Amino acid sequence: MSLPGYFIPLKKAVDDYLKEQGLTAADVVAVMDEDRESLAESLRKRCAISLKTERLLLERLTSKQLNMLIFVIQVFYIVNMGGMYKGFIIHPERNRVVSGQRVTEEGLRLVLKALGYPSLEQA
């Protein structure tokens, strides 16, 4: 998918941010929680999702993927009110991902797709 020049794909923004900070994805998830219940609680704080969606996330994503997802949601969507990275609009756009201060179900699906993570759609 080709985006206009004023957009930056989420994955590219994440990779650039980590590189700029001198970190890898492994560094980030190494210091985060691996307990599934703690991960579910963290997701509930940041996402307005159904119990069904929460269960699907816990079933389909590894602990490392869940931690990275939580990191991305927090850094690029919750605290980043402008939805920008280095002057570019992050794609998917914040207004399509977040409602209020929480990620919506549809927003979560967009973020998962942008990161190349497993879909929540029924197989």
Question: pLDDT at position 7, please?
Answer: 95
The pLDDT-based confidence of 122 (bands split at 50, 70, 90) is low
Question: pLDDT at position 120, please?
Answer: 87
User: Is it the case that residue 123 has pLDDT exceeding 70?
Assistant: no
Question: pLDDT at position 34, please?
Answer: 78
How many angstroms separate the CA atoms of 39 and 32, rounded? 9
Residue spans of the domains in the chain: they are 7-115
Cβ density class 41-61: b for 16+ within 10 Å, e for less: ebbeebbbbeeebeebbeeeb
Q: Quick one: tokens of 32?
A: 């985060």
Q: What is the pLDDT of residues 84-119, one digit of tens each?
A: 999 999 999 999 999 999 999 999 999 999 999 999
How many angstroms separate the CA atoms of 47 and 49, rounded? 6
Question: pLDDT at position 36, please?
Answer: 85
State the Cα torsion 92-98-101-104 to the nearest 10°. Answer: -130
